[in-house]
Chain A
Amino acid sequence: MSTVATPPPPPKKVNRVGLEVLSYKGAKTTLCAGCGHNSISERVIECFYELGVDPWRVGKFSGIGCSSKSPAYFLNLSHGFNGVHGRMPALATGAILANRTMLGLGVTGDGDTASIGIGQFMHLVRRNLPMIYIIEDNGVYGLTKGQFSATADVGSKLKTGVINDLPPFDCCALALKWGATFVARTFSGDKKQMQTLLKAAIVHDGLSVIDVVSPCVTFNDHEGSTKSYSYMKEHEEVLHELDFVPSYDEISVDIPEGEVRDVRLHDGSHLRIRKLDRDYDPTNRLSALAAIEDAEKRHEVLTGVLYVNMEKPNFLQILNLAEEPLATLPQSKVRPPKAVLDEAMEELR
């Protein structure tokens, strides 16, 4: 562990924008007790609080499913849009184009993303739209009582004894191959890793895809499931140890020689990646894919930063979009003067 992490400020308990953690909370969860999704909601609250993100600047997006209910359980002071099944990327894309100052936070599930929504997910990835895209991945449909989704592993068993016989989509592999610029996998039970990844995603100026294995305690946490707490405890392969140093943090710590890779993120924050038992270069797409492929063969679940790309332009840059929000441009900027209409008419005479 590095010595960089700063504990939350003790006495008054407000963050750097003067808000208490209460300002980052949401409604009481209605998900099952012990649901991995609730842990993720807690991480969201902590990270946005700790980084001092103004909640009003955040736009929450979700599709349909247990996962997609969770935006109601955090960031009450942020606008949220719970849309239709599998189409959250479209809503988020439109909203962020309308107001690029918004920090988009999408929360979705494996059914929402990999089954019904795979098309929109892939196109979101392709566009590298700047937003955070969290997949709460439990391999199963909760709200409809326990059918397999498209991330369920071959051979995984439902409570009813049904065995999954189709291979899963690996959303991280898809995301890093086709254009997302920050791709990570984590486990809802790993508080520290999830926090670090989420903070990096918050400051990343491109599409951040975080696949969180988040066990469904009701329908997919039994013997024979590959998305259960016990399976993850046995099969999780942590790639590296991570630390996040925010841009405003004035404590400068020397980067230890050799073992630590320092990634300077878009806003000047740093992601410190400390090697564990293997060399892993998250800036190399090909080796990232190879590592995922390899882990799959060995029935391991790789967690950590799988891929990061700081160079690729995001969708807003490609569109040469105005800096100020399109949503609130004044009439003088969006309705051309009469001379323009006259010119257009003259051309048509």
Chain B
Amino acid sequence: MSTLEVSPAEPRLSESGHLVVNDFSIQVATVNGSGSQTANTVLMRSIFQMGVPVSGKNMFPSNIAGLPTWFTIRASKHGYIGRKKEIDFLVAMNPETAREDVMKLDSGATVVYDEPLKLDQLRSDLHFYPAPFDKLVAPVCPDAKLRKLVRNMLYDGIVAWLLGIEMDEVYKALVKQFGKRKAKAAELNWGAAKAGYEYASKTYTKTDPYQVQRMHANTGKIIIDGNAACALGAMFAGVTVITWYPITPSSSLVESLIGYLKRFRIDAETGRATFAVVQAEDELASIGMAIGAGWAGARSMTSTAGPGISLMSEFVGLGYYAEVPVVIFDVQRVGPSTGLPTRTMQGDLLTTAILSHGDTQHPLFFPCSPEECFSMSIDAFDFAERFQTPVFVMTDLDLGMNNWMADPFQYPEKPIDRGKVLTAEDLDRLGGFARYKDVDGDGVGYRTLPATNHPAAAYFTRGSGHNDKAQYTEREDDYIHNMDRLAHKFQVMRKHVPAPEVTYRRGAEIGFVACGTSHYAVGESVDQLLAEYEIPASYLRLKAYPFTAELIEFIERHQRVYVVDQNRDGQLLSLMRLEMTPEQIAKLRSIRYYGGLPLDARTVTDEVVRQEEK
């Protein structure tokens, strides 16, 4: 294979001479199961390799083949990688949705489409580029059975020509995507990409303004999805027992982890696994196993999504009350019930914070990027053992399953913190211990691991009432004493959870509070508000629950605080209200989006402006 057959693209000016460089969104509408994911990933990666900040969002159905899928790529020289609400450049490959997709476009947008769809008849205010995909694919893919899968690669070539993406980069991205083992498939796809490029170069006159021009913003960066980043974090945290039940959108977290563990965690001397992975029969079992393992001293985890969280409720209460460390990854999706399994939502913020019956409180970590997925996963394991409690790492489908640009992850410098564990030697020295006694004033007792060779090591763990010595009790004073200690422990956590990221803006009357993937929309909205409306806004991004003192200070320092939620009921807002004074609550406003797509900046900006004008 050679890349020299195609010359690098010349910059082409549109008719008007007005160019939009490195600042637009592309939407590819296809049918799932048609190999479009490969074509889309290659297209995104090509732009990434051109040095332009880029993001890719897959909007796919809960189905294996035959239903509409949209992939949105955003290129942004400003580094905005949240979803852009407006589509500038459409590749319409799906006959079922093409009409609606075209009708939704803003005036001046561009459409590449499969010629027989005759989309140019629908509107006159768009730039249309038809291509006969079936005719073009036949000569480059003699095997008719494979054509369906190769056909989509044609649009990569077409789009490359139209946008000025260098074909060398397309080729490199293709090779990366297919790897060495699938060289033949890569060759076939490369043929299709070239055919698309050649067709475009011979046929089209460029009339649209969109253009990719080389930048150098991505030097050293990687592309990774949040699930794989969490998996790497878990591996470098030293996870040893992993239990799970497949569920979208969390499955690929454990699947990535299994891949890494098999490569990097087989003991070189013995050939044995330094980990155990169990695909459990359901989420009740997966959390139960993880808690059993955490109790016995393993670094244990499970990974799930909303429906699994609901099922895990009872066991998480046991983990809280019996004080067992475990890390639960919740890759949130749209609920209630089965909901929209392949769409994103911050749907479990309230549920997880107080999951299970009785009085329970659980720490939540909110990573917003692959880098944080990695580092906060490591933190979560340390935190779970330090505080002997279940810890939730809350991501969502957008972060977990989409590909993101990221800086290479930093190797953890801090040694692993196994928390307060007494060994046989400690017990010799101390003579004994009381499992739930608050010796250090932080609410956290000392524990021993099962199979510790010492007559004073054993204690009996139970989900029923227990006193300091882990003995069964139904006494009023014992119960209250224990629950008060647990509440105190949660208060102590405030000083140890990851602190929020706060940006105060001079003269800002308003501030934003958000968590997780809302970050990208909010960060961009802050800029939009200033540039378009001259409204300065501060921004506090929460990284964890329980909340810290910075949040209170932030509210105190602003007139109005917009709490951004990707759910209908303002779950983050509700969680904040639980611990605010009436004066603080009076300052809180709510911005909620719950359509299942990643939150976009325009939605946030419009809502702030609407509420500010009232």
Contact = CB atoms under 8 A, between A and B. Distances in A.
B449 A99 contact: yes
Tell which of B222, B272, B278, B455 has the most Cβ of chain A within 10 Å.
Answer: B278
24 contacts: A23-B455, A56-B451, A56-B454, A56-B458, A57-B453, A59-B450, A79-B458, A81-B462, A82-B460, A87-B285, A87-B315, A94-B241, A94-B288, A95-B295, A95-B296, A98-B300, A102-B296, A102-B451, A331-B416, A334-B265, A335-B412, A336-B264, A345-B222, A349-B220
Contact of A56 (B238, B294, B318, B453): B453
A144 interface: no
A98 B299 CA distance: 8
A60 B462 CA distance: 11
A59 B449 CA distance: 10
Contacts of A319: 273, 276-277
Interface string B431-466: 000000000000000001111111101111111100
Given A79-B457, A83-B318, A97-B278, A323 B272 contact: yes
B297 A93 contact: no
B578 to A, nearest CB: 27
6 tightest A-B CB contacts, nearest first: A90-B288, A94-B292, A327-B297, A334-B238, A98-B298, A94-B293
A72 interface: yes
Given A91-B289, A98-B240, A98-B293, A345 B274 contact: no
Interface of A: 23, 54-57, 59-61, 71-72, 76-84, 87, 89-99, 101-102, 119-120, 123, 319-323, 325-329, 331, 333-336, 338, 340-341, 344-345, 348-349
B236 interface: yes
Contacts of A89: 285, 288
A91 B292 contact: yes
Interface in B230-258: 232, 235-241, 243
Interface of B: 220-224, 232, 235-241, 243, 260, 264-265, 267, 270-278, 280-282, 284-300, 314-315, 318, 322, 408-409, 411-412, 415-416, 448-455, 457-464, 472
Nearest to B410: A341
B260 A344 contact: yes
Contact of B458 (A80, A338, A345): A80
B281 A119 contact: yes
A100 to B, nearest CB: 9
B454 A345 contact: no
A76 B293 CA distance: 21
A328 B416 contact: no
| Most B Cβ at <10 Å: residue of A96, A331, A345 | A345
Contacts of A334: 238-240, 265, 274-275, 299, 416
A82 B318 CA distance: 10
A80 B240 contact: no
Contact of A98 (B223, B241, B411, B415): B241
Given A84-B314, A84-B463, A336-B235, 15 more contacts: A57-B451, A57-B453, A77-B457, A77-B458, A82-B464, A89-B288, A94-B241, A94-B296, A95-B450, A98-B296, A326-B293, A334-B240, A338-B411, A341-B236, A344-B232
